[in-house]
Amino acid sequence: MKKSISMLLLICVLACVGTYAKTTSSKIVDVTSVSLKDKINDLCKASMQGDVDQVRSLIALGEKVNEKSLGLTPAMYAARYNKAEVLKVLILNGANLDIKSDKGYTAKEYAEMSNAKDVLEVINASL
């Protein structure tokens, strides 16, 4: 499971950031790569993994429930990966479901695109 999540995270990072290489005579002239600042934050990672206890702990330590990481809020990660219990905790701690990602989607829209039925029930009940 950790390997799958790590691979998915790597693919997501590469898709979001991309790599640019300019070549001249088959020599690499310029390469832009993923920097350390592009790392997903702990609350978003725990939300994506469905780790309710870790989400609660991070919130208790002062993590901001509406802070974006790689363009998505923790609620968007929970919605995309159908982590209903995590989303409930985030909502109880002030998660704003109306925030849009850097691509212009809300948590509800991520849930719809992912066919995350459990999360959609939580979102609809909170409206």
Tokens of 74: 């923790």
Q: How many CB atoms are located within 10 Å of the residue 61 CB? A: 9
Residue 93: the pLDDT is 96
Which candidate, 121, 53, 125, 37, places its Cα nearest to that of 86? 53
Asked if residue 110 lies in contact with residue 80, where contact means CB atoms within 8 angstroms, the answer is yes
Mean pLDDT confidence for 49-67: 96
Q: What 3-state class would DSSP assign to 42?
A: helix
116: buried, middle or exposed (CB in 10 Å: 19+, 13-18, 0-12)?
buried
pTM of this prediction exceeds 0.95: no
What would the mean pLDDT of 69-88 be, rounded to a whole number? 97
pLDDT tens across 1-10, in order?
Answer: 555 555 555 5
Q: What pLDDT does 32 receive?
A: 36
- Which domains are delineated in the chain? 1-37 (no CATH), 40-126 (1.25.40.20)
Q: What is the mean pLDDT of the chain?
A: 81
Q: How do residues 4-49 score in pLDDT, each as one tens digit?
A: 555 555 555 445 444 433 333 333 333 333 444 569 999 999 999 9
pLDDT of res. 126: 87
